[in-house]
Structure 1
Amino acid sequence: MLDSPLRQQTECAPICYLGLGSNLGQREVHLRQAIKLLRAFMVVSAISPVYETPPWGVVDQPDFLNICVAGSTHLPPLPLLSALKRIENEMGRRATYRWGPRLIDIDLLFYGDLILETERLTIPHPHLAARAFVLAPLADIAPGYLHPQTKNSVAEMLAEVDQTGLRRLAAPLFAEDAHV
């Protein structure tokens, strides 16, 4: 079978790791839809199990479902960020308040080993080492991945954070996609 043009374009591209979350409406449906839309510009290589987690920052809101996705893309970091924001907007995400409820949230966690700091984007994601809701699903698909600045593995970072309230769902919502 011939590879798709997208797969050929991304053959030498760095592996990107994304964190996805939803705490409004049909959370599972929103995560599935976001993955479907990601595939327009990303070759998805792994999808973590789903975790249900308490909200972070503002706690008076519904619990989140969180996953991490690994994949490669031909898009450079800033156009990738724009594409992720476009997905959020297309799916109906509306700006509320910082750390408020959201239909879908897609964060660019790592872009290969790139270290980048601009007004619009910081890579690696500046708060990922403090967030169990990011590190737990990320550890399922990339436990040995090293943070390019701290040189700590994802598994090591996860061991250092409070995991209270973190719950891995027994039946993965994306079992058919886990390793595509």
Structure 2
Amino acid sequence: MKLYGALACIVLILAAMPAHAQSGDELFSQADAALSGNDAAKAAELYSQAIRSGRLDKPKLSQAFLQRGRAYQATGSHARAVADFTNALWLESLSSNDQARAHGWRATSRQALGQSGLAKADLTKAKSLNPQFTAAPAPASTTVAAARAPATGQNSGSEQSDGLLDRLISGSPSQAEPAPAAAAPRRLAAPART
């Protein structure tokens, strides 16, 4: 009976192991393909697997965070996108054009989260990294194929300027919808004294 129990455990362990562990580069390539194919949710999961694999060099890891952030942004997960853009920048392996894009994309997510001041700072930083950076990042509702467009610093067909940078710098009231007001804290009634 003990032998059958041991064999059952071994079978379960072997069944749980992947037949072929994919390399970080393979996962990264699959994630790129999913992102190019406008499947942001699948891309985010594949980039996550590539990151967790521990098999990406520092520049590729920075790109994985950058592109996973873009995938999160496309699905409306702006807090996760901000975290990933920050991680990509923190690793200090991005080109100046990719740094500008990371700051621009992070600004879009911060604006969506109601963090206008931080969004303005990111857009200003993007402009300082690449003086030709004129296009505000494409809104999350656009296709994610724009995430893989080459970073030339100029407007391409997939990156349309919506004036976010100009509105934030000028302080125009039309810059974005304000963040929802926080609900007032409820006061608890004092316990009745008996």
The question of a shared fold, defined as TM-score above 0.5 by the shorter chain, is answered with no
Between structures 1 and 2, the one with greater strand share: 1
Between structures 1 and 2, the one with greater helix share: 2
Which structure is higher in RCO with an 8 Å CA cutoff and minimum separation 6?
1
Normalising by structure 1, report the TM-score: 0.32
Normalising by structure 2, report the TM-score: 0.30
